[in-house]
Amino acid sequence: MDSADPAPRGPGDTFLVAAVSEVSAEERRAALTPAGVRRLAGAGIGCVVQSGLGIAAGFPDEDYLAADAQLAPDAHAALSRARILVKVGVPTPAEIAQLPEGAVVLSLSSPGPDATAALARAGLTAFALERLPRISRAQAMDALSSQATVAGYWAALLAAERAGRFFPMLMTAAGTVPPARVLVIGAGVAGLQAIATCRRLGAMVEAYDVRPATKQEVESLGARFVELPLEVEEGEGGYARELTDETRTRLQKLLEERVAASDALITTAAVPGRPAPRIVTEAMVASMHPGAVIVDLAAPSGGNCELTRAGEEVVHRGVTILGPRNAPAMMPAPASELYARNVAAFLELIVEEGRVVVDVDDEIVAATCVVRRGEVRSGVAETAP
């Protein structure tokens, strides 16, 4: 195990976790909530937050103060005192420049090559929670899962609103209205939450995933698993493997009928570190009835539908294709609450008696640490999460 990392040189000697407002206008989540501050205080870790940090997520400054956070009037006042900076997005060059030497940065997203180099030049230590191994000990820190849960729930509500149909079967004096038919492609964390939410709304739900292990989970939620005669090898760590072009073409053919029959299609298929698999072709979209909707949660990594445009709404022959760029940020309050819990659990791992201890022999620390005291960790540049 490594010894404690030296405290950074900066004003004041209080141990502080800092959180500042996210720079992207689309990012409404906050990395620290009042409950997160209270939890960290219980572990002897003091926090400073930039005034206005939680406004977009529904947490006013007074709630942070009541939780014993210190309030900084601007980002600089928080950053310049940060022993650890916690964020959702990757820190900007300006934020990096304002951190004391030796500070630690924890974000959800992994820094790209430029940000990694800037973090290293500044002599910082950086962790990215999206690199967390999916092991049981890490579950409380699993921000990919917590944010995918929010995304899946929200995608189901969006589909229900935009499909323009009743999701449940309704029996009225004017006759019976059949339930909406929903198809979910990709039954990981987001897909399963979308299935559960659509089922609660009463829709008839079908789902497909290349991992046969998902069949049981899909069925336990009251949905039908679409069985396809397709042999697909499982990838490492329980993840899916990228399909060959030939298998993907077969998959598209086999799914054609199910897509054409659906009123709402929610796609969440992903392979870590790879562009999203293109599963829904233009011809498949054209086979859907006008008024149908596609919510493509894979939009940020290229989309599961070939007509998806990230952040845009595309209408093709009356079918609406929605490609949200940041679905979890659409429900910033629960997304922040869950993320702040993930952050607190991670900090409890790396902070011991007021000191940061980076134990690279720990599987969780080793996987998430991108830069260590100014050195880019080997394998980081080559292995996207």
Ligand X SMILES: NC(=O)c1ccc[n+]([C@@H]2O[C@H](COP(=O)([O-])OP(=O)(O)OC[C@H]3O[C@@H](n4cnc5c(N)ncnc54)[C@H](O)[C@@H]3O)[C@@H](O)[C@H]2O)c1
Binding site for ligand X (CB under 6 A): 134, 136, 139, 142, 144-145, 148, 185-191, 208-211, 214, 238-240, 243, 268-272, 277, 279
5, 142, 209, 263: which is the annotated catalytic residue? 142
Nearer to ligand X, 111 or 191 (CB): 191
Residue 307 CA to residue 315 CA, distance in Å, equals 9
Residue found under tokens 């967390």 = 132
Nearer to ligand X, 127 or 208 (CB): 208
239, 252, 274, 309: which is the annotated catalytic residue? 239
CB of 174 to ligand X, least distance (A): 39
70, 80, 134, 241: which is the annotated catalytic residue? 134
Residue 67 CA to residue 325 CA, distance in Å, equals 32
Element of type H or E holding 284: helix 282-286
The runs of H, that is alpha helices, within 71-206 are: 75-79, 93-98, 113-121, 143-162, 189-200
Active site residue 239: yes
Nearer to ligand X, 158 or 218 (CB): 218
Q: Please report, as a single letter, which amino acid is at residue 156.
A: A
261 with 182: CB under 8 angstroms?
no
Nearer to ligand X, 121 or 137 (CB): 137
Closest residue to ligand X, based on beta-carbon distance: 188
Its sign, for the CA torsion 159, 335, 362, 97, is positive
Q: Please report, as a single letter, which amino acid is at residue 323.
A: G
DSSP 301-312: GT-SBTT--TT-
Name the pairing type of β-strands 351-352 and 355-356.
antiparallel
Active site residue 142: yes
Q: Please report, as a single letter, which amino acid is at residue 112.
A: G
Residue 127's nearest CA partner among 328, 382, 329, 380 is 380
CB of 250 to ligand X, least distance (A): 11
Active site residue 362: no
Name the pairing type of β-strands 16-19 and 46-50.
parallel
Nearer to ligand X, 262 or 268 (CB): 268
Residue found under tokens 């697909």 = 232
Q: Which residues are catalytic?
A: 134, 139, 142, 145, 239
